[in-house]
Structure 1
């Protein structure tokens, strides 16, 4: 059984990555589903609270849930391997296919997720963080490997209180649409709205709680036969899968039927504004990467990046994430307003008593990515 999911190439083109097997993911035989979480890696602080997980079948009937305890965490170098029993089917314990998946972080301990593998030994699929990145989630580069080609997808953040401007508590996806066949992938590349503005297919949510209800395709979608492998291809009606204007409220806590008072909405907005101090999680920590797949320029220029200052040795650039300012690395010809890679210091000119002098800024801790 292979786990297929969507990633983004350097040129911004969506493609698929298939993992033949997922080590350690088992125990899901019978009326149960296995879920494995791959956490972003590389700096020591991407782990966090284990999200709650909910499953539904293709008709929107709830299958089962995993309720994490408040103290349950996954370290950066760890993985979450969970088995969700189908205890909420009718009748309970009935075998069902987990077509819709939702993850919700109930805690204020942010976690950055690179991949989510889902299988019930009959169907399988993978959500990779690149989909969330493409569709607007808070993200950061990662060194977590997902297949034999050494691909490292971005990780996406889930956090209940939106610290550092993290914009999602929860995410949801339609499993078979995330494991896209060639014709469907071509549809996504031709019009990203067919995935990013198709809420039942994929969405991230500001406040959706573990018992929240996500939207479903009702009736289930109709697909053409894929021209490449004869599987489930592109949508028969691509326009029908795209959200209408203001069709869904992404700030809800439980369902689209809830109504918030103006005071409650203003309170939530005020709390979120207070939490947005800077996109830099720790200004005293620095990432240095030698990977061609990690871009300091992208981190600085992308509005949804959340993490740490970063140096790309391949680009010869340093990103001051707090100010979203790029600097070149220092050299014999560039000695100010640059980053000194040997001293691990940003050297900028500041005025003192009418004179300008170099003011170095350094770091207490550093992570090196190879």
Structure 2
């Protein structure tokens, strides 16, 4: 089914209903965003309760088939977009008798390439279902007050039966008077976007400046992270606001954001400077990050960088790469080997998560007075001279 139609919600409901009938169960969210090795490790941890380290995908397949071939398990793979994900996470006859694998995807062709017993295409909500879902978010009840009925019917027509759009639009309008409802719905007329894009954009536009900044941070860097982790840099009042407006959800202590919303945030950042990554406020796409770090093309506009390569690799830093990033507050390195000297780090940095830092000390100018997160696992640091 299409984005925002409720595939993940249905899969979670099924998991909650039947997981107890199996020897083990595992829900893997956002499969398309994870590395196969990390996904295999998570699968084994959830089903065996053991934190096993996997060297490569083939090794992972061997461990999974050996440890789980006699175990009755429930595995849900959410948001699959590549055939290799299925082949490396849930091959034929990998699990014990009675096991079940449930897959959610936007691409029906993936399912046609496997012997899938049952394919269910999620349909849009009908008018009555849409009105009820919208009403729960707009009025905290199953139906609208009589004087809001026509406006509510108009609103659900814009949402086009998509649950995500109904939740966000209802949350956006909740607690406002009829005049504001009319003005908001009039604003959706005649714009060159699909209905869901209009609804998401207007929900973002209604945030104040600080909330917009934190929304973009979550969309670009912190989607899928634990709430306690994110609360170090995003104040709780804004987390609560985003939950209230259905822009994020918190499940299992993790902050989740729908792909459509995350893509909205990334698109907003990209439009800041379509042709020059160094002029944008946030960088996450590996090609843009490599260009800025190796060629030292960053500017004062950059507030956050996340290094996440398709495969672990080496990047040779320009010694002056951070020199002009005087407003850089977030730097996260997931899987790159960043080598070379650096002569400068901005003192406004609040968040450093730099795995495998290869130098023995930080630049002498850096004091770290604003840090709320300082993590340098497997670093070569021997001294923190001048670090306060």
Give TM-score scaled by structure 1 length.
0.24
Which has a greater percent of strand?
Answer: 1
* Structure of greater Rg: 2
